[in-house]
């Protein structure tokens, strides 16, 4: 529909005396929902007879009731736009309300007239005028379609997306149009009751009241009519907080250059109604002042309006092929969405750490905690979920990595992860996605990940049935008794084990709910009917995704630190508790080749065997970034003691001293004697492991070889192995 701010207009040049060129091609036929329809038929008079083909006179600009107008686009069936279609004939004389037609001529679109200044006829609202024109255009298109051989009334109505009743019957829109033109399609006016109008409102009154109504923030979608009327009758006095820009916008809305003054008699009449206990203005005036909720939201927050009130169905299920540029449907494994949610029922988790009144008294911690769920965008299949219980009911990047590891290990690596910001965009997550070769798409609004948000809504509905009386609802204060009981249990006043489900029961309910969701058919009006788990299996069989190499499981290590290699070691401080960090040092023989290089260490500080996968973080001596250097062992005694106290692991007591001694005293020495005239002299090769073992190989000038292997400590299996390797390398 055209904008309400201005009515389309243009001019059509009058026919000249020069004859038309017969070779001028006709405009091509437009396409209408799969079938062509002819250009506009000759204009009809109000009585329904075809207009004469004589040349119409040029429009008289001095005629106050007639100006020239141009064709404009009206929406046709299902939102498409009929191109090249002119406004239908007829304009209503403001005084008499009689429809009159405009004549047409051969080879040119008919000249249609509209009221002066492109406004609707007098006593006819703009919306009614535009609606009548749209109905008239549909009637014209129907009559054009009926000219085609074999076209039935039902077929033509189906092509136009309309009911057959619109074109059959003595009182149908088509019959009224053929009898009276556009005027017959206007809504019938109610008869005059004979009562005199109580208000004679100035032209600027309603726009001014609507402006104040929009500013009065009564609710999120509504304003206050009484407040708006009080502000209008106070004009020309403006609110004291208005700026010059606000004043200009107000005048622009009124179409005035100066602030108008409310007539005193109008003000007195409105105040008299207020004193009598009546509404300030009649309901007919109040309806003109109010605006729709969409208009209110659009003015207050344009971004929320675009998110909540604008829709483009089907765009979330297609992607643009980077090679061909075509839009393609998503397949299973193309995009996996994931998000977190706080479940709507408390859970009792065994909690030996203590730290709150409930766990110290009953040995369990009751909270709602965090539920991390992943869903495939194409099939709507849920491949994995993670339930994380932390003291503050939060989650971290390592929890996101755990969910990603579960999906990739059992199903494969998705081509794209779709996450929100915050923890989901942490360096831990982004690095893992980059190294596994998947794209990470960060979204900034829940509207761009509708499938995981819709899944949570369905899961809350199902889980509420599992735990009646134990869930706190979707919004605050919805289930008051359960909420009060939850708070009492957290304070240690009641035993939560008697009120809320344990962790095992909650996990069983989650698993059952998701299993049911994966096997329930999805019935979409746009995409059809399918079962999520069946479509997931079929798509992956036809278009498989990459599998995760088990040797690459280090990608999902909960701790990643970037350190600088110093000799054989690399390390730094790692926070193991909220207010405690301990030094972790790692060593590996391969590190000696990367002294001074920046590396990323992937490790789990609480694992029974604490080892780190060392990955080169920068180009160093011809080695590119991302290359895996090797696996290094943790050797710091302080970290080993902390791990022992917390019962994470029992590291060997002397491993740190042994490795540091080895790194400090290990040496390989090559000695060469030089004789005159290029003759080779004696040579000595010596290797020490820094502990108790050394190997010395001497070669004199006569090529005699003498080797010596010594051990200053008791030999063990490891010493014998090292002795064999060193000795064999010099014989």
Rounded mean pLDDT of 517-528? 88
Going by their DSSP bridges, the two strands 416-419 and 335-341 should be labelled as parallel
Rounded mean pLDDT, 376-388:
92
pLDDT score, position 520: 93
Residue 583: closest CA among 591, 592, 572 = 572
Residue 667 has pLDDT above 90, yes or no: no
Which domains are assigned to the chain? 30-185 (no CATH), 205-307 (no CATH), 329-542 (3.30.420.10), 557-663 (no CATH), 667-728 (no CATH)
Task: Assess whether pLDDT exceeds 80 at residue 15.
Answer: no
Average pLDDT over residues 413-439: 91
| pLDDT digits 0-9 by tens, 457-473 | 899 888 888 988 888 87
Which of 26-40, 185-199, 477-491, 709-723 is the least confident region? 26-40
Instruction: Write out the two tokens for 70.
Output: 């141009």
The larger pLDDT score, comparing residue 705 to residue 268, is at 268
Closest CA to 233 of 275, 200, 277, 265: 265
Q: How confident is the model at residue 413 (pLDDT cuts 50, 70, 90)?
A: very high
Angle at which helix 205-215 crosses helix 293-300, to 10 degrees, equals 60
Q: What is the mean pLDDT of residues 652-657?
A: 56
pLDDT band at 480 (very low <50, low <70, confident <90, very high): confident
Q: What integer pLDDT is reported at residue 14 of this predicted model?
A: 36
Q: Is the pLDDT of residue 727 over 70?
A: no
pLDDT band at 658 (very low <50, low <70, confident <90, very high): low
Q: Which runs of consecutive H residues, i.e. helices, occur in 309-412? A: 357-362, 397-410
579: confidence class by pLDDT, cuts 50, 70, 90:
confident
Strand 693-699 relative to strand 680-688: parallel, antiparallel, unpaired? antiparallel
pLDDT score recorded for residue 231? 94
pLDDT at 686: 65
Rounded CA-CA distance 244/541 in Å is 66
Position 51 scores a pLDDT of: 41
Structure tokens at 173: 């829109």
Flag whether pLDDT at 694 surpasses 50.
Answer: yes
- SS3 for 175-215 is HHHHHHHHHHHCCCCCCCCCCCCCCCCCCCHHHHHHHHHHH
Q: Is it the case that residue 17 has pLDDT exceeding 60?
A: no
Q: 80-97: string of b/e by CB count within 10 Å (b at 16+)? A: eebeebbbbbbbbebeee
Predicted confidence band at 656 (pLDDT cuts at 50, 70, 90)? low
- Alpha carbons 589 and 72: distance in angstroms, whole number: 80
| Both tokens assigned to 671 | 């000695």
Q: Is 369 exposed, middle or buried (0-12, 13-18, 19+ CB in 10 A)?
A: buried
| pLDDT exceeds cutoff 50 at 158 | yes
pLDDT confidence band for 238 (50 / 70 / 90):
very high
* pLDDT (0 to 100) of residue 1: 41
CA terminus-to-terminus distance, the chain: 94
- Label residue 221 by pLDDT band (50, 70, 90): confident
The lowest-confidence range among 106-120, 381-395, 679-693 is 106-120
Buried-exposed string 713-723: b where 16+ CB fall within 10 A, e elsewhere:
eeeeeebeebb
Name the more confident of 540 and 685: 540
- 690 close to 662: Cβ distance less than 8 angstroms: yes
- Crossing angle for the helix pair 397-410 and 427-435, to the nearest 10 degrees: 20
Instruction: Give the C-alpha separation, 334 to 325, whole Å.
Output: 17
Q: What is the pLDDT of residue 206?
A: 92
For 27, 202, 231, the CA distances from 237, given in Å and listed in that order, are: 58, 17, 8
pLDDT value at 452 more than 70 = yes
Assess whether pLDDT exceeds 50 at residue 2.
no
Q: Encoding tokens for residue 450?
A: 């509708």
Mean pLDDT of the residues in the chain: 75
At residue 678 the predicted structure's pLDDT band, cuts being 50, 70 and 90, is low
Bridging pattern class, strands 99-100 and 693-699: unpaired
CB 1 within 8 A of CB 76: no
Sequence-distant (≥ 6) Cβ neighbours of residue 571 within 8 angstroms = 563, 583, 584, 585, 586, 601, 636
pLDDT at 584 over 60: yes
**Which of 42-56, 276-290, 657-671 is most confident?**
276-290
Q: Are 699 and 683 in contact (CB under 8 A)?
A: yes
Element (H, E) at 672: strand 667-674
Q: Look at residue 274 in the predicted model and tell me its pLDDT.
A: 92
Beta carbons within 8 Å of 123's beta carbon, 6+ residues apart: 94, 97, 189
C-alpha count within 13 angstroms, C-beta hemisphere, residue 697: 13
Q: For 385-410, what is each residue's pLDDT tens digit?
A: 999 888 888 888 888 998 999 899 88
Q: Using the predicted structure, report yes or no on whether residue 718 has a pLDDT greater than 80.
A: no
184-198, 246-260, 512-526: least confident range: 184-198
Tens digit of pLDDT for each residue in 26-42? 333 333 333 333 333 33
User: pLDDT per residue over 129-147, tens digit each?
Assistant: 888 889 999 999 999 989 8
Spatial separation of the C-alpha atoms in residues 284 and 287, rounded to whole Å: 5
Q: Which pLDDT does position 54 carry in this prediction?
A: 39
Instruction: Report percent pLDDT > 70 for the chain.
Output: 70
pLDDT score of 111 more than 80: no
Strands 370-376 and 335-341: antiparallel
Closest CA to 563 of 629, 502, 494: 629
pLDDT at 539 > cutoff 90: yes
Of 33-47, 280-294, 295-309, least confident by mean pLDDT is: 33-47
Indicate the range of 212-226, 511-525, 633-647 predicted with least confidence: 633-647
This prediction's pTM: 0.57
Query: pLDDT band for position 384 (50/70/90)?
Result: very high
Q: What is the pLDDT of residue 23?
A: 41
């Amino acid at each position: 529909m055209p904008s309400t701010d201005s009515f389309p207009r243009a001019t059509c040049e009058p026919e000249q005396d020069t004859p038309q060129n017969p070779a001028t091609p006709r405009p091509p036929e437009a396409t209408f929902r799969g079938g062509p329809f002819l250009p506009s038929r000759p204009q009809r008079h109000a009585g329904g007879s075809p207009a004469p083909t004589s040349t119409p006179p040029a429009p008289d600009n001095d005629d106050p009731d007639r100006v020239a107008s141009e064709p404009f686009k009206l929406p046709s069936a299902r939102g498409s736009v009929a191109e090249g279609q002119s406004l239908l004939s007829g304009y209503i004389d403001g005084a008499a309300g009689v429809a009159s037609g405009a004549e047409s001529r051969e080879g040119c679109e008919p000249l249609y007239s509209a009221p002066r200044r492109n406004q609707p006829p007098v006593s006819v609202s703009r919306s009614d005028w535009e609606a009548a024109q749209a109905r008239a255009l549909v009637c014209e298109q129907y009559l054009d379609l009926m000219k085609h051989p074999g076209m039935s009334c039902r077929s033509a109505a189906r092509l136009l997306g309309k009911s057959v009743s619109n074109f059959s019957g003595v009182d149908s829109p088509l019959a009224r149009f053929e009898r009276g033109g556009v005027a017959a399609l206007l809504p019938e006016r109610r008869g005059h009751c004979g009562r005199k109008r109580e208000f004679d409102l100035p032209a600027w009154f309603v726009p001014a009241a609507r402006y104040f109504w929009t500013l009065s923030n009564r609710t999120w979608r509504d304003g206050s009519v009484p407040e708006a009327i009080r502000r209008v009758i106070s004009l020309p006095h403006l609110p004291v907080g208005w700026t010059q820009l606000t004043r200009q916008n107000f005048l622009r809305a009124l179409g005035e250059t100066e602030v108008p003054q409310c007539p005193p008699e109008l003000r007195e009449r409105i105040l008299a109604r207020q004193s009598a206990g009546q509404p300030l203005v009649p309901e007919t005036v109040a309806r003109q002042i109010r605006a729709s909720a969409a208009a209110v939201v659009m003015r207050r927050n344009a971004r929320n309006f675009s998110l909540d009130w604008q829709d483009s169905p089907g765009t979330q299920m297609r992607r643009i092929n980077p090679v061909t540029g075509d839009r393609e449907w998503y397949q299973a494994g193309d995009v996996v969405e994931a998000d977190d949610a706080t479940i709507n029922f408390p859970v009792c988790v065994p909690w030996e750490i203590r730290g709150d009144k409930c766990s110290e008294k009953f040995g369990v911690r009751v909270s709602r905690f965090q539920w991390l769920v992943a869903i495939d965008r194409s099939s709507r299949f849920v491949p994995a979920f993670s339930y994380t219980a932390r003291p503050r009911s939060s989650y971290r990047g390592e929890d996101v990595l755990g969910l990603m590891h579960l999906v990739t290990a059992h199903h494969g690596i998705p081509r794209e992860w779709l996450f929100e910001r915050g923890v989901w965009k942490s360096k831990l997550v982004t690095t893992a996605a980059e190294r596994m070769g998947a794209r990470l798409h960060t979204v900034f609004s829940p509207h761009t990940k509708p499938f995981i948000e819709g899944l949570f809504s369905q899961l809350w509905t199902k889980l509420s049935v599992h735990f009646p009386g134990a869930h706190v609802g979707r919004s605050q204060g919805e289930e008051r008794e359960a909420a009060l009981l939850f708070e009492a249990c957290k304070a240690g006043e009641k035993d939560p084990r008697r009120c809320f489900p344990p962790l095992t029961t909650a996990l069983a309910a989650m698993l059952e709910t998701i299993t049911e969701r994966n096997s329930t058919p999805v019935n979409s009006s746009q995409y059809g009917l399918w079962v999520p788990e069946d479509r997931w299996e079929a798509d992956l069989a036809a278009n498989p995704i990459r599998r995760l190499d088990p040797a690459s499981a280090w990608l999902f290590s909960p701790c990643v630190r970037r350190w600088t290699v110093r000799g054989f070691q690399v390390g730094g401080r790692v926070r193991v508790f909220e207010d405690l960090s301990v030094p972790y040092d790692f060593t590996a023989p391969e590190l000696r080749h990367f002294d001074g290089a920046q590396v990323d260490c992937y490790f789990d500080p609480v694992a029974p065997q604490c080892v780190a996968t060392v990955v080169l973080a920068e180009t160093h001596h011809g080695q590119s970034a991302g290359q895996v250097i090797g696996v290094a062992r943790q050797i710091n005694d302080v970290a080993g003691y902390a791990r022992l106290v917390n019962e994470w692991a029992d590291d060997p007591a002397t491993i740190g001293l042994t490795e540091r001694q080895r790194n400090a005293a290990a040496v390989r020495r090559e000695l060469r004697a030089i004789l005159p005239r290029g003759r080779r002299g004696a040579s000595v090769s010596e290797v020490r492991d820094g502990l108790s073992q050394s190997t010395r190989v001497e070669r004199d000038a006569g090529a005699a070889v003498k080797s010596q292997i010594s051990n200053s400590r008791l030999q063990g299996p490891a010493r014998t192995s090292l002795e064999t390797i060193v000795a064999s390398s010099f014989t």
